């Protein structure tokens, strides 16, 4: 991580109280809508797989694999909502559905992910932040990179050459890696039993129906390649190389294109400033919350908003002394605030 985000400075906070009425309205959890969203992603994946298997043509397989990878990204984003108890009003039903339909198919556990993710919310961008600890240990998260370095990272991600780093990063969230760990709320007994039962059931069905090889091509390979790339882009965009002198520019919001929404950031997950400010709002409502907040000068004057993930890559590759801070996601820019340079100087002097 770039040094400028490591400084402990007293960041200004955004006044939340004036927005609380809107936030409460947008924080309503809809059981029916969550069930419909989850069901629709599975419908798309099953339909895409059925079309590919029925055709038997390699080009249809490639297209179906890309579609399935995009829906797997949706499962992960919806699991994030499940980790915040934002899928279903009953918490047990929330966790069971999130595990069985979202987390387990991705090799993850909702409760294990929740444990680290809540720590991330509490200690964002600090030395106690699990995301910061991970990013400091992984060369791929060190920016800026040259165009060649960025292209090499994309190449390694799309072909799964950085899978060892990915497995190390997600080990703490893997129910299989923690199956025999001491019992506790991080991975409850019922979750372990559901994991084993569902895995045995799915494996039996896949093998008995002769679907193992198609599953490898349609699910496993896209998950280790295309999903690996799009998820890395999304995660990198959230907190890397932001000024961090104000609460609103310690995180990055990305206004996505339709392509971004389909492959990288579905269901409002790119509105990351809004999520950190008001984590009670389900992801699907964060776009509406963003539009409301942008009419508040207290928000729009300080929020680090970037247009598209292509724009994020441009920010990540720009050397620190040439960087400017985006304003309102409008494509206009302003110089970085002097307070950051002052904070950096004071910190270095203290050291």
pLDDT digits (tens, 9 = 90+) for 123-144: 888 888 888 887 777 788 888 8
Whether 324 is covered by a domain: the verdict is yes
- pLDDT-based confidence at 220, cuts 50/70/90? very high
pLDDT confidence of 167, banded at 50, 70, 90? confident
Please give the mean pLDDT across all residues of the chain: 87
Residue 254 is given by DSSP the state E
Higher pLDDT: 14 or 6? It is: 14
pLDDT of residue 91: 97
- Is 152 inside a domain boundary? yes
Tell whether the model's pLDDT for residue 5 goes beyond 50.
no
CA triplet 235, 243, 284: central angle to 5 degrees?
A: 40
pLDDT value at residue 108: 96
Q: Look at residue 247 and tell me whether its pLDDT is greater than 80.
A: yes
CA–CA distance, 8 with 151 (Å, rounded to integer): 32
> What mean pLDDT comes out for the span 293-321?
90
Name the DSSP letter for residue 219: I
Number of domains in the chain: 1
- How many Å separate Cα 119 from the centre of its chain? 15
pLDDT band at 349 (very low <50, low <70, confident <90, very high): very low
State residue 348's pLDDT score. 40
- Residue 204 token pair: 């039996």
Q: Minimum mean pLDDT among 135-149, 177-191, 253-267: which range?
A: 135-149
Q: Is residue 344 part of a domain?
A: no
**pLDDT for position 324:** 57
**Which band of pLDDT confidence, cut at 50, 70 and 90, is reported for residue 118?**
very high
Range of the domain at 88: 3-339
Residue 84 has pLDDT above 90, yes or no: yes
The predicted pLDDT at position 96 comes to: 97
Q: What is the pLDDT of residues 26-70, one digit of tens each?
A: 999 999 999 999 999 999 999 999 999 999 999 999 999 999 999
pLDDT score at 343: 34
* 71-85, 196-210, 310-324, 333-347: range with lowest mean pLDDT: 333-347
Query: Is 345 inside a domain boundary?
Result: no
pLDDT at 311: 94
Q: Across-strand partners of 307? A: 255
The conformation of residue 182, written as its DSSP 8-state character, comes to P
Q: Is 346 a domain residue?
A: no
Q: 254 — phi, psi (to 5°)?
A: -115, 125
Contact 239, 5 (CB under 8 A): yes
**Measured distance CA(293)–CA(49) in Å, rounded:** 40
Q: What is the C-alpha separation between 217 and 32, in angstroms, rounded?
A: 32
Contacts of 303 (CB under 8 A, 6+ apart): 248, 249, 253, 273, 293, 294, 328
227 neighbors 72 (Cβ within 8 angstroms)? yes
Q: Is the residue at 347 inside a domain? A: no
pLDDT at residue number 38: 98
Q: Give the strand pairing for 304-307 and 252-255.
A: parallel
Q: Is residue 251 part of a domain?
A: yes
DSSP state of 322: G
In this prediction, residue 328 carries a pLDDT of 54
350 inside domain? no
pLDDT above 60 (res 200): yes
The pLDDT, as a whole number, for residue 325 is 54
pTM score > 0.85 for this model? yes
- Rounded to 5, what percent of the chain is helix, strand, coil? 65, 5, 30
pLDDT at position 164 is 84
pLDDT of residue 195: 96
Task: Taking residues 333-337, report their average pLDDT.
Answer: 43
């Amino acid at each position: 991580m770039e040094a400028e985000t490591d400084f402990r400075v007293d960041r200004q906070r955004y006044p939340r109280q004036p927005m609380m009425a809107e936030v409460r309205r947008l924080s309503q959890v809809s059981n029916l809508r969550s069930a419909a969203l989850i069901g629709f992603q599975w419908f798309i994946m099953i339909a895409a797989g059925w079309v590919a298997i029925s055709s038997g043509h390699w080009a249809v397989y490639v297209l179906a694999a890309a579609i399935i990878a995009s829906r797997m990204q949706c499962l992960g984003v919806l699991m994030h909502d499940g980790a915040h108890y934002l899928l279903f009003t009953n918490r047990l039903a929330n966790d069971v559905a999130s595990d069985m339909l979202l987390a387990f198919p991705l090799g993850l556990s909702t409760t294990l992910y929740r444990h680290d993710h809540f720590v991330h919310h509490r200690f964002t961008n600090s030395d106690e932040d699990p995301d910061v600890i991970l990013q400091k240990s992984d060369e791929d998260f060190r920016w800026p990179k040259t165009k060649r370095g960025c292209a090499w990272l994309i190449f390694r991600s799309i072909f799964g050459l950085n899978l060892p780093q990915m497995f190390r990063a997600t080990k703490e969230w893997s129910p299989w890696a923690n199956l025999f760990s001491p019992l506790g709320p991080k991975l409850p007994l019922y979750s372990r039993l559901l994991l084993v039962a569902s895995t045995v059931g799915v494996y039996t069905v896949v093998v008995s129906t002769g679907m193992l090889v198609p599953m490898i091509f349609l699910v496993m390979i896209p998950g280790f390649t295309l999903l690996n790339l799009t998820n890395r882009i999304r995660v990198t965009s959230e907190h890397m190389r932001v000024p961090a002198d104000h609460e609103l520019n310690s995180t990055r919001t990305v206004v996505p294109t339709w392509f971004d929404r389909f492959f990288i950031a579905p269901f409002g997950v790119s509105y990351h400033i809004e999520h950190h400010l008001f984590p009670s709002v389900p992801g699907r409502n964060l776009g509406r919350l963003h539009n409301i907040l942008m009419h508040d000068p207290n928000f729009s004057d300080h929020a680090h908003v970037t247009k598209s993930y292509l724009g994020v890559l441009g920010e990540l590759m720009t050397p620190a002394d040439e960087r400017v801070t985006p304003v309102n996601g409008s494509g206009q820019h302003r110089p970085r605030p002097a307070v950051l340079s002052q904070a950096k100087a004071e910190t270095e002097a203290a050291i």
